[in-house]
Structures are given as C-alpha cells and as structure tokens.
Amino acid sequence: MHLAHDPADPPAETIGFDDFLKVDIRVGRIIRVDPFPEARKPAFKLTIDFGKGVGVRRSSAQVAALYTPETLEGRLVAAVVNFPPRQIGKFMSEVLTLGFPDAEGRVVLFSPDAAVPLGARLF
C-alpha cells in the first residue's frame, strides 16, 4: 500500500478525537528481518515485538532503499496494530509499519527518539 502525498497538499478532512482513537498505533522492536525478493518494490519482511499486550506481529515494509537488515534489527518502530491482516504475495502482513516519504519517495521509518516501553500507544 503506497499512500504518498505531496507535502504541499492541505490537511485531510477534519475528524473527531474518537475517530483518532480507533487507530491503535503502538511502538515495537524489530527482532527479525527477512528478505522479500518476490515483492514488487524493494521490501523486507519484519518481525516486530510489541510486548505483552499485542505480542509479536509481522509486517511487509518497503524500506529496502534506505535500510539494511543490520540497521533495522533492534530498531524501535511505530505501527498500526488493529488493521485486518493483508495478503502481500505469499506473505501475510499483520501490522502497518509507519513511515514518511523523503524527497525521492523512499520510506523513512517513524520511531520515537527515546526509549519507550514496547506496546506503548501513540496519543
């Protein structure tokens, strides 16, 4: 899923705070990175530990342009954990790992700039 928008676009339509709370964004630690050669765009299969409440989930992430398995493993990332699983080729992606496009459209991962507990929810 690629949702790139022009940074000059106006904000999306106004939503209520209750709508925001429906999106469950948690922090997790990447504990394993596997190649995903069959993906259409350069990607990795990530295994992410979100701690006791959410557990370990898997995600396909189109981040191979800027990251290597070595720079990803152990990294804290943010992900939407309450979307339904999505089949991507032969892989079932269970969470949506979040990032922003850089000037060339490559995905830059969204993560906290200090340590927080695994499973902490964004608010």
Instruction: Look at residue 122 and tell me if it is in a domain.
Output: no
Instruction: Look at residue 29 and tell me if it is in a domain.
Output: yes
pLDDT in tens, the chain (123 residues): 445 678 888 999 999 999 999 999 999 999 999 999 988 888 999 999 999 999 999 999 999 999 999 999 999 999 999 999 999 988 999 999 999 999 999 999 999 999 999 999 999
Write the CATH number for 30: 2.40.50.140
Question: Helix, strand, or coil here: 70?
Answer: helix
Instruction: Look at residue 121 and tell me if it is in a domain.
Output: no
Say what the pLDDT of residue 3 is.
56
Instruction: Look at residue 68 and tell me if it is in a domain.
Output: yes
Say what the pLDDT of residue 4 is.
60
Structural domain for 59, as ranges: 20-109
Task: Give the separation between CA 69 and CA 18, rounded to whole angstroms.
Answer: 37
Type and span of the H or E element at 27: strand 25-35
